[in-house]
A and B are shown apart, each in its own frame.
Chain A
Amino acid sequence: MSARAFRLPAALARPGAPALMPRPRLWMGLVLLAGFALSVAVAEAQQAAAGRPGALAVLRQWTPFILQGFALNLGMSFLAMAIATVLGLGLGLMQIARSPVLRLPAKFVTHLFRNSPWLVILFAVMYLTPFQMRLPQLGLVMIPDWVKATAAFSLPVMANISEILRGAVNSIPKGQWESAESLAFTRGQTLREIILPQCIKRMIPAWMNWYALLALATPMASILGVHEAVGNAQAAMEAAGSRPEFLGPFYLFLMGLFFVYIYPISLLTRRLERRYAVTL
C-alpha cells in the first residue's frame, strides 16, 4: 500500500475545489421540477375553489418580469467574473512573487476577501463607495446600484482565483523549475513558458466552480434594492396582493430558475475535473 492511498484525489485537496460527485442523472433535476409542480398544483386547486386567480396564474403573469430580473443576474455574474479573473490572476501572480513588497500586500488582500462573508463585502462596497462620479466627458454620472453590486461580487471571487493560481503553481513538481533553471531559463521565462501553460488546465474546473458560486450569490444584490430576479419576484408578489400562498411557488420557481442554469455548469465542471485530474 502506497502513501498515496491515504491522500485525497488532487482535485479534492485543492482549496476551493468542488467535491467529486457520483454520476449525476437527469432525474435529479426532474425531482425538483416535480416538487415544484406538486406545490403549485395544490395551491392552484385551493385558489380555484376560492374564486381568485391562483398562485400559478399570478406567477405565469409575472414570469417575464422575473426573467427580466434574471437577465440582470446573468449580466452581473458575467461582468463580475471577467473583473475577478483579470484582478485575481494579477493578485495571484503577485502572491507568488519573490519580492515581499508585492507578495505581502497581495497575501493580505487575498486573505481579507477570502475570509469575509459575501454579504459583508457587498455592504461595504454599497455603502462606502460614492453613488456618483465625475467623468471627464459626461460630467456628474450616477453609478447604478447593480454596477456597485457587480464590483462587490467580483472581490471575493478575485481573492479565490488568486488562491487558485497560487495553488496551481505550487502543484507543478519542483523538478520542472530546477530543470528549467539548468537550461538557463530565467524565472520569468520559466513561469511564462513552462509553469503557467500547465496551470491553465488545472485551474479551469476550480474557476468554473467559482463562477457557479458567484452566480448563486447574485440574489444578495436584491437586499440593497437591485432589481434582479429575487427582487423582482418579491415586487411581483407584493403587486399581486402579498398573499401567503404566493411564497412557495415563487421561491421554488426562483430556485428552479437558478438550478436550470447552474446545474449544467456544475455537471461540466465535474466532467472537466475528472478529465484534468492531476495524476501524481
Chain B
Amino acid sequence: MIPDLIGPWLAELHRSTGLNFVVFYDGFEYRRFVAGAVLSLQLIAAALAVSLVVGVIGAWAQGARLAPVRWLMGAYIEVFRNTPPMVQMLFFYFALGAYTPQIDAGGYYEPMITAFGWALISLGVFGGAFNVEIFRAGLEAVPKSTHEAAESLGFSRWQIYLYVTLPLAFRISLPALTNNLVSLAKTTSLAYVISVPEMTFTLSRVWSDHVNVPEMMLVLFVFYVGIVTIIAAGLHLLERRLALPGYGQ
C-alpha cells in the first residue's frame, strides 16, 4: 500500500517543507482518494462504452431507409454537438432527474437514477453524438469496389456488412475515434457539477479540508494526463495491430 511505502517520507516532507500530499500518507484521505480514482475510472470506462454503443446504433440509424429516423438522428447530433456539455449534464440531472420515479430503499426513497447514472447517460449521449459522425464517415469511406467485389463472390447483404464493410470502416474510423474518446475521458470531470464523487470532486474536497491546492492540483493533472496517455496508447496500439498491410504510410 502506498501510505506504508512512501507515507512516512511524505509526512516528513509535509513537516519540513509544508508540501502536503495528504492523500498518500493519511489513511482516511488515502481511502477517499482511492474511492474517487476508482469511481473516475468506472465513469470513464462506462461513458466510453455507452458512447460507442450510441455511435454504432446511431451510424446504423443514419443509414435507415425510414426518413424520420434519419431526421431524428440528425437533430440529435446537431443538438448535442452544439450545446454546452455542462448545461446538458445539468439538464439531464436536474430537469429530467426531477421526473424519474423514486424507489423504496428500505424506509426512505431514492431516485432510480443516481447522479452517477445521470453523468453516465449525459456523457454517453454527448460523446455518442460525435461517434455517430465518425462511424458514418468511416462507413462511407469504404470504397464501393470492395462492396462489389464481395457481392460478386456471393456474400449476402449482412455478410458484406459484417465481414467486409464493418471491419474496414472501423479501421478507417480509428484515428478520429481515438481523438473523441480521449476528449470524452477528459470531459468526465464535468460530473463535478452534479456532485458525483469522482477524482476532481474528491480532490476539491481534500483541498478545501487541508488547504493544499497546489499539491492536489498536481495530483489531479498527473491523474488525467496519465489516463489520457494510457487510453491514447492503447488505441494507437490497436491501430497498429489492425493496420492493413500495404495501406497507409
Interchain CB contact under 8 A, B217 and A117? no
Bound complex: CA A255 to CA B188 (Å): 19
Interchain CB contact under 8 A, B86 and A115? no
- Check if B27 is an interface residue, CB within 8 A of chain A: no
List, in ascending order, chain B residues with CB within 8 A of A16's CB.
Answer: 179
Which of B29-37, B91-99, B157-165 is the contact stretch? Answer: B91-99
In the complex, chain A residues 104-142 whose Cβ is within 8 Å of any chain B Cβ = 111-112, 115-120, 123-124, 127-128
List, in ascending order, chain B residues with CB within 8 A of A29's CB.
Answer: 78
Which residue on A lies nearest to B182, using beta carbons? A115
Interchain CB contact under 8 A, A7 and B81? no
- Check if B87 is an interface residue, CB within 8 A of chain A: yes
- Check if A28 is an interface residue, CB within 8 A of chain B: yes
Interchain CB contact under 8 A, B200 and A119? yes
Bound complex: CA A259 to CA B246 (Å): 44
CB B18 to nearest CB in A, in angstroms, measures 15
- Check if B238 is an interface residue, CB within 8 A of chain A: no
Bound complex: CA A252 to CA B88 (Å): 9
Which residue on A lies nearest to B191, using beta carbons? A119
Which of B45-53, B107-115, B220-228 is the contact stretch? Answer: B220-228
List, in ascending order, chain A residues with CB within 8 A of B134's CB.
Answer: 12, 19
List, in ascending order, chain A residues with CB within 8 A of B79's CB.
Answer: 28, 31-32, 255, 259
Bound complex: CA A12 to CA B175 (Å): 9
CB A148 to nearest CB in B, in angstroms, measures 14
List, in ascending order, chain B residues with CB within 8 A of A117's CB.
Answer: 186-190, 200, 224
Interchain CB contact under 8 A, B143 and A123? no
List, in ascending order, chain A residues with CB within 8 A of B172's CB.
Answer: 6-8
Interchain CB contact under 8 A, B78 and A24? yes
CB < 8 Å neighbour of B87 from A24, A251, A263: A251
In the complex, chain B residues 38-62 whose Cβ is within 8 Å of any chain A Cβ = 62
- Check if B19 is an interface residue, CB within 8 A of chain A: no
List, in ascending order, chain A residues with CB within 8 A of B82's CB.
Answer: 212, 216, 258-259, 262-263, 266
Bound complex: CA A127 to CA B84 (Å): 23
Query: Number of residues in B with C-beta < 8 Å to the partner?
Result: 62
Bound complex: CA A7 to CA B146 (Å): 14
Interchain CB contact under 8 A, A31 and B137? no
CB < 8 Å neighbour of A115 from B78, B189, B207, B228: B228
- Check if B213 is an interface residue, CB within 8 A of chain A: yes
The digit string for A44-61, where 1 denotes a CB below 8 A from any CB of B, is 000000000000000000
Interchain CB contact under 8 A, B88 and A115? no
Interchain CB contact under 8 A, B189 and A120? yes
Interchain CB contact under 8 A, A255 and B78? no
Bound complex: CA A31 to CA B244 (Å): 42
In the complex, chain A residues 244-280 whose Cβ is within 8 Å of any chain B Cβ = 244, 247-248, 251-252, 254-255, 258-259, 262-263, 266
- Check if B75 is an interface residue, CB within 8 A of chain A: yes
Which residue on B lies nearest to A244, using beta carbons? B98
List, in ascending order, chain A residues with CB within 8 A of B168's CB.
Answer: 6
Bound complex: CA A195 to CA B179 (Å): 26
CB B174 to nearest CB in A, in angstroms, measures 9
CB A260 to nearest CB in B, in angstroms, measures 9
If the complex has contacts A24-B74, A119-B200, are A13 and B175 also in contact, measured as CB distance less than 8 A?
A: yes
CB B195 to nearest CB in A, in angstroms, measures 11
- Check if B248 is an interface residue, CB within 8 A of chain A: yes
A-B contact pairs, 14 of them (CB 8 A): A5-B145, A22-B74, A25-B74, A120-B200, A120-B220, A120-B224, A123-B220, A124-B221, A212-B82, A218-B84, A230-B87, A251-B91, A251-B94, A255-B88
